[in-house]
């Protein structure tokens, strides 16, 4: 992922490594100090390496997930297209034959590798192999010359289809159809061609690749290849004609030929001349590869966003470790500074030590990151099976690119280097005498004038930038600029107010703004970018932790009596609280790690709960009483199907049937997110037939939902869309409103009309094609008359909505109808079951992200374990004195366990509260949650389970250090520092 970042990241990493090499060569004393510490402190080194390794693994894992998703979608270019770059579909009859003759001239075009003519029709099939009946209503029957198909595409390339033509009475089927019918070579199948059953025997099964997986726009195509003349004969017998399809292969390979798409498309139009307006010229490979990049990038960015919180936790772990190392070695650093070592060389020593840890963690981090990506791919493969349309689903295949590995490695190392350098500079600033005597740090002094002037200027600039950013609801700047203005104003405030007051006011104001920004400017979430969520979560966690850390004594007042008890337990409790209160920075850094991860875990848990709670409302909004969506072949079904539904064997189970007009077109994006036209499934609704499907937004003047449907019937200018029209990935937002316009085009004739959005549907799932169309085909709903006027004969009744009679099972009726109307290739989709399946898949996807984020929780728990290990070493002499005074080993162990419990509980509670509150504010104000009206549930069971698991893991991480502290021998501890 992100090949554009590879060169900048590698250059930055090379410069950082070069700087480290220069320091190591020019500062031999710093180098020896650094490497000696690494060799001496193996346990701490292992912990630091482990934390840094997790951070690198999370970055690489997120990028590998993006690679996997990108590759999985791109496989459609290989599986269902292969050498096919352009597809020209002509209407049946003389026009189709004329189109075929004109396109033959393209064979001499230097940009074209091949031209292949074929005929196709929508069909259905049934098999009774092994005494078991299996039916498949979604079949494409093809008639093409296998010899020409084998030579189609570049020389030496694999077209996916070859060998001899099927013999009379035999067919070749591809793997998806063979799996659907459970047939193999030699098995009989019945294919319904133009409504008439024809029995064949399977000659062979071919892999779904190239021409063997080709279709007319679907993601998963179940193809049957007929003997020569078989399709023409069946068409003549039925008084019909198949569709004429011409495939064009551009010069080059499967992906490289896509670059010539625009040029070859122009050549095709020139060759067709006046017939271009009567044909559909598709560029499926260009669309597939574009959508693949979009899907891979957006989903990869989603995982990277989730991983960002873990990366922040990993950086904080490194900072915390080096701060503790600095405090532990304060006397040593004071001595080397006293004998003449410059501060810059001390910084160099610490930076070299930290860089060594980071470099040692690089290769294990890469291996773990790849393993994480593979694990996510395996789980995602099961989840995406549920995201199917008409039996078509995204098939996940694990993939990894060197670009992602190098990007992840470079990002992980650079983040570690930056954290180490910043920490090294901070800990090098100490008073030499105080350091040698191991005196506590002096309270902060008033800021110097230069710092005051610079910070005040920056505060004013950030405030000025914040005004237009908030006014325009710019996502990142709306959060960042006010928060930065408050932070930069801190030195000025310290001139007039006490430090505690300033810290509380600034942290409280930043936290309040972070939580209230979605209320004041709800459109800040109308963006596919994930950065706004990272900024929001980080600001909320950091400001809340600063606020809590600076007011710990106030928060502990309710338990003051417990702390003041003159008992062994009270003593252990006082010891457990005293150290975190005295070491605010390290305690705060550990709290941030816990708060960040628990915050996001609770956020995802709450969103999953909202989805589950809202599914009933979504079903009601989407169906408006309809139970089934029917999709069928209009060439075969005609008006007969509708009469059969109303009076046939299944009629008692059907209360009402609403036929829909269908056509294909393209539309501009009313949200102005993409300049490219969007593929649309145009749906024409009969006047007055649909009034119950609801809208989340309506055109001013249309006071209710029925008025929108009436406007659609009476005025051809109006259309309605759903909230996902033109979605480019990321959370749904509010990108367009009623009154906005779009241009709708009939791709066959080139005729366009400007349409006005009359309403935005609460849920438009019933209008999405149920026959495996591309996931980037969006419905546009018009009145029936407006559809006929724009699309002419292309608009046909190819789908219908059905209300079932009371007591009739929609799933049972769907199975019955598909069996009765198999010759019409009817696909019956139970709407409620389909919606609930999609919601189950969404919930599973959130659980997958929670599992991915659990790595970050591992970083936080590791951080707590490191803090406790360092605390034991740092307080070795203190523990020895307490034991010499009579403290029992059990008291010391209990104090360490309670100390880690205190930090863990604070982080868990703070993260949980922030997660629930933030989700509620987003639910109340963000367009992403519109349509989910099941109320806001607090997932107490899941949150408590998460809290219990986190608390138990935290205790397990500190049992070892606590036992080591209890086992310290007093006589040795008070005499020896190491």
Residue-by-residue DSSP string for 153-178 = SSTT---S--SSPPPTTEEEEEHHHH
**Under a CB-based contact definition with an 8 Å cutoff, are residues 517 and 481 in contact?**
no
Contact 915/606 with Cβ under 8 angstroms? yes
Whether the predicted pLDDT of 305 surpasses 80:
no
Average the pLDDT over 157-164 and give the result: 81
pLDDT of res. 135 = 87
Over 80: is that where the pLDDT of 715 sits? yes
What's the CA gap between 156 and 839, in Å, rounded?
46
* 423: confidence class by pLDDT, cuts 50, 70, 90: confident
Q: Give the pair of three-digit tokens for residue 942.
A: 């899941």
Mean pLDDT across the chain? 83
pLDDT at position 392: 47
Over residues 4-27, the mean pLDDT reads 90
Tell me the pLDDT tens digit for each residue of 939-959. Answer: 888 899 888 988 898 888 888
Instruction: Give the pair of three-digit tokens for residue 951.
Output: 């608390």
Query: How many other C-beta atoms lie within 10 A of the C-beta of residue 48?
Result: 28
**Residue percentage of the chain with pLDDT more than 70:** 90
Query: For residue 386, is pLDDT > 60?
Result: no
Any idea which of 17-26, 123-132, 321-330, 348-357 has the lowest mean pLDDT? 321-330
Sequence-distant (6+) residues with CB within 8 A of 654 are 645, 646, 802, 803, 804, 805, 808, 813
**C-alpha distance across the termini of the chain, in Å:** 47
Band the pLDDT of 615: cuts 50, 70, 90: confident
pLDDT, average across residues 753-757:
93
Q: What is the mean pLDDT of residues 1-18?
A: 87
Whether 14 shows a pLDDT value over 90: the answer reads yes
pLDDT confidence of residue 286:
80
Q: Which of 686, 691, 711, 692 is nearest to 701 (CA)?
A: 711
Residue 741 or 594, more confident: 741
- Give CA–CA dist 772/220, Å, rounded: 7
Residue boundaries of the structural domains of the chain: 1-78+285-446, 86-282, 565-616+832-978, 633-825
Give the β-pairing of 654-667 and 678-685: antiparallel
CA distance 528 to 409: 26
Does pLDDT of 729 surpass 50? yes
Band (125; pLDDT cuts 50, 70, 90): very high
923 vs 130: which has the higher pLDDT: 923
Neighbour count for residue 792 (Cβ, 10 Å): 13
Do 968 and 879 touch, CB atoms closer than 8 A?
A: yes
Q: Return d(Cα 462, Cα 356) in angstroms, integer.
A: 37
C-alpha to C-alpha distance for 515 and 508, rounded to whole angstroms: 11
- What tens digit of pLDDT does each residue of 530-556 get? 778 888 888 999 999 999 988 888 888
pLDDT at 718 over 50: yes
d(CA 902, CA 579): 11
Q: Which two tokens stand for residue 830?
A: 């139970």
User: What sign does the dihedral 22-26-32-37 (CA atoms) show?
Assistant: negative
Per residue in 102-117, pLDDT tens? 888 888 888 888 899 9
SS3 282: strand
**pLDDT at residue 529, as a whole number:** 67
Query: Of 296, 392, 385, whose CA–CA distance to 769 is shortest?
Result: 392
User: Facing residues of 779 across strands?
Assistant: 681
Give me the pLDDT at residue 744, please.
93
- Give whole-number Cα distances, 760 to 504, 718, 790, 838, 897, in Å: 44, 12, 22, 21, 56
Compute φ and ψ for 735, nearest 5 degrees. Answer: -95, -20
> CA-to-CA distance for 246 and 546, rounded, in angstroms?
67
Q: DSSP strand E in 100-152: where?
A: 112-127, 134-143
Q: Which residue has the tokens 């989805």?
A: 611
What stretch of H or E contains 915?
helix 889-925
Interatomic CA distance for residues 722 and 242, integer angstroms: 34
pLDDT of residue 67: 81
Q: Which two tokens stand for residue 712?
A: 């659609």
Mean predicted confidence (pLDDT) in 311-337:
74
> In the predicted model, is pLDDT for residue 143 greater than 90?
yes
pLDDT, average across residues 231-258:
86
Per-residue confidence at 733, pLDDT binned at 50, 70, 90? low
Judged against a pLDDT cut of 90, whether residue 757 lies above it is answered with yes
Q: Is the pLDDT of residue 233 over 60?
A: yes
Pair of tokens at residue 399? 């993939």
* Confidence grade of residue 390 (pLDDT, cut at 50, 70, 90): very low
Q: CB under 8 Å to 629, separation ≥6 — which residues?
A: 766, 770, 799, 800, 801, 802, 828, 829, 831
Res. 961: pLDDT tops 80: yes
Residue 654: φ, ψ to 5°: -115, 125
Q: What is the pLDDT of residue 214?
A: 86
Specify burial of residue 808 (Cβ count, 10 A radius: 0-12, 13-18, 19+): middle
How sure is the predictor about 341, in pLDDT bands with cuts at 50, 70 and 90?
confident
Residue 15, pLDDT > 90, answer: yes
Mean pLDDT on 390-412: 78
User: What pLDDT does residue 462 have?
Assistant: 93
Mean pLDDT of 883-896: 84
Structure confidence by residue, pLDDT tens digits, 344-354: 888 888 888 88
Q: Is the pLDDT of residue 204 over 90?
A: yes
Count other C-beta atoms under 10 Å from residue 104's C-beta: 12
Rounded to 10 deg, the angle between the 402-427 and 343-360 helix axes is 150
Q: What is the pLDDT of residue 762?
A: 82
CA Rg value for the chain: 34
pLDDT for 93 equals: 78
Q: What pLDDT shows up at residue 854?
A: 76
Q: DSSP readout, 378-435? A: HHHHHHHHHSEETTEEPPP-----HHHHHHHHHHHHHHHHHHHHHHHHHHT---HHHH
Maximum average pLDDT range among 278-292, 359-373, 879-893: 359-373
pLDDT the model gives residue 126: 92
**Mean pLDDT lowest for which of 23-32, 483-492, 838-847, 916-925?**
838-847
Q: What is the mean pLDDT of residues 902-911?
A: 90
Q: Cα–Cα distance between 921 and 515 in angstroms, integer?
A: 7
pLDDT greater at residue 666 or residue 76: 666
Per-residue pLDDT at 431 exceeds 80: no
Mean pLDDT check: name the lowest of 264-278, 619-633, 799-813: 619-633
CA distances for 778 relative to 279, 385, 415, angstroms: 21, 21, 41
């Amino acid at each position: 992922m992100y090949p554009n970042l590879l060169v900048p990241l590698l250059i930055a990493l090379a410069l950082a490594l070069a700087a480290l090499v220069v320091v190591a060569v020019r500062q031999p004393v710093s180098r020896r100090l650094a490497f000696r510490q690494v060799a001496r402190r193996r346990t701490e080194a292992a912990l630091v390496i482990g934390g840094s390794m997790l951070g690198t693994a999370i970055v690489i894992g997120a990028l590998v997930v993006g690679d996997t998703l990108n590759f999985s979608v791109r496989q459609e270019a290989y599986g269902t297209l292969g050498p096919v770059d352009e597809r020209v579909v002509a209407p049946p009859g003389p026009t189709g034959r004329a189109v075929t003759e004109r396109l033959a001239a393209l064979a001499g075009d230097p940009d074209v590798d091949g031209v292949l003519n074929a005929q196709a029709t929508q069909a259905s099939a049934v098999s009774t192999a092994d005494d078991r009946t299996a039916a498949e209503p979604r079949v494409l029957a093809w008639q093409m010359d296998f010899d020409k198909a084998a030579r189609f595409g570049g020389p030496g390339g694999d077209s996916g289809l070859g060998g001899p033509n099927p013999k009379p009475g035999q067919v070749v089927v591809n793997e998806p159809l063979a799996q659907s019918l459970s047939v193999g070579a030699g098995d009989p199948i019945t294919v319904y061609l133009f409504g008439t059953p024809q029995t064949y025997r399977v000659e062979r099964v071919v892999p779904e690749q190239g021409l063997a997986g080709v279709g007319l726009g679907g993601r998963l195509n179940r193809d049957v290849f007929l003997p020569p003349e078989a399709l023409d004969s069946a068409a003549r017998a039925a008084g019909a004609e198949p569709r004429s399809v011409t495939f064009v292969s551009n010069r080059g390979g499967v992906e490289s030929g896509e670059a010539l798409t625009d040029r070859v498309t122009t050549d095709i139009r020139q060759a067709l001349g006046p017939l271009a307006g009567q044909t559909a010229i598709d560029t499926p490979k260009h669309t597939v590869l574009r959508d693949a990049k979009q899907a891979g990038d957006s989903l990869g960015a989603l995982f990277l966003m989730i991983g960002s919180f873990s990366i922040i936790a990993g950086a904080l772990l490194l900072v915390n470790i080096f701060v503790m190392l600095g405090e532990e070695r304060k006397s040593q650093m004071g001595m080397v500074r006293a004998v003449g070592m410059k501060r810059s060389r001390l910084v160099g020593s610490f930076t070299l030590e930290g860089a060594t840890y980071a470099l040692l963690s690089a290769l294990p981090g890469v291996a773990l990151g790849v393993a994480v990506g593979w694990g996510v791919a395996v789980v995602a493969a099961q989840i995406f099976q549920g995201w199917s349309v008409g039996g078509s689903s995204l098939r996940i295949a694990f993939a990894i690119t060197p670009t992602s590995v190098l990007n992840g490695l470079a990002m992980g190392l650079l983040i570690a280097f930056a954290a180490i350098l910043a920490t090294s500079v901070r800990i090098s600033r100490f008073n030499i005498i105080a350091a040698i005597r191991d005196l506590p740090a002096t309270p902060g002094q008033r800021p110097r004038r230069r710092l005051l002037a610079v910070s005040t200027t920056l505060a004013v600039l950030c405030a000025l930038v914040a005004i237009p950013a908030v006014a325009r609801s710019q996502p990142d700047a709306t959060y960042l600029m006010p928060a930065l203005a408050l932070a930069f104003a801190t030195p000025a405030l310290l001139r007039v107010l006490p430090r505690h007051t300033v810290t509380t006011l600034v942290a409280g104001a930043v936290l309040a703004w972070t939580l209230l920004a979605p209320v004041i400017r709800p459109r800040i979430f109308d963006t596919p970018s994930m950065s706004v969520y990272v900024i929001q979560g980080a600001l909320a966690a950091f400001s809340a932790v600063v606020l809590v850390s600076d007011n710990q004594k106030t928060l502990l007042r309710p338990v003051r009596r417990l702390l003041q008890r003159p008992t062994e337990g009270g003593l252990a409790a006082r010891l457990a609280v005293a150290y975190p209160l005295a070491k605010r920075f390290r305690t705060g850094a550990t709290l941030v790690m816990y708060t960040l991860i628990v915050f996001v875990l609770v956020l995802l848990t709450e969103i999953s709960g909202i989805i589950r709670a809202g599914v009933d409302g979504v079903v009601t909004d989407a169906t408006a009483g309809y139970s089934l969506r029917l999709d069928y072949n209009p060439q075969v079904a005609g008006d007969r199907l509708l009469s059969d539904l109303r009076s046939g064997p299944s009629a008692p189970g059907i209360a009402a049937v609403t036929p829909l007009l269908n056509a294909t077109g393209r539309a501009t994006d009313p949200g102005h997110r993409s300049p490219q036209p969007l593929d649309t499934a145009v749906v024409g609704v009969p006047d007055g037939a649909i009034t119950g499907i609801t809208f989340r937004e309506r055109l001013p003047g249309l006071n209710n939902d029925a008025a929108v449907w009436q406007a659609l019937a009476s005025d051809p200018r109006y259309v309605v869309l759903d909230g996902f029209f033109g979605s480019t990935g990321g959370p749904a937002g509010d990108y367009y409103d009623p009154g906005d316009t779009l241009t709708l085009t009939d791709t066959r004739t080139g005729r366009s009309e400007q349409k006005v959005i009359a309403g935005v549907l609460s849920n438009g799932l019933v209008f999405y094609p149920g026959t495996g169309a591309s996931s980037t085909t969006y419905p546009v709903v018009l009145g029936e008359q407006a559809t006929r006027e724009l699309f002419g004969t292309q608009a046909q009744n190819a789908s219908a909505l059905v209300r079932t009679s009371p007591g009739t099972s929609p799933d049972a009726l769907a199975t019955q109808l598909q069996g009765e109307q198999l010759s019409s290739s009817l696909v019956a989709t139970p709407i409620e079951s389909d919606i609930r399946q999609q919601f189950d898949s969404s919930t599973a996807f959130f659980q997958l992200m929670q599992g991915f984020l659990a790595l970050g929780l591992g970083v936080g728990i590791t951080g707590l374990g490191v803090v406790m290990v360092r605390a034991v070493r740092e307080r070795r002499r203190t523990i020895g004195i307490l034991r010499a005074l009579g403290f029992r080993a059990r008291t010391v162990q209990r104090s360490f366990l309670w100390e880690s419990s205190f930090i863990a509980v604070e982080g868990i509670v703070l993260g949980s509260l922030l997660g629930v509150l933030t989700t509620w504010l987003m639910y109340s104000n963000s367009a992403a949650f519109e349509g989910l009206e099941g109320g806001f549930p607090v997932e107490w069971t899941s949150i408590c389970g998460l809290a219990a698991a986190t608390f138990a893991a935290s205790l397990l991480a500190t049992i070892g250090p606590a036992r080591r502290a209890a086992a310290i021998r007093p006589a040795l501890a008070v005499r020896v520092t190491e």
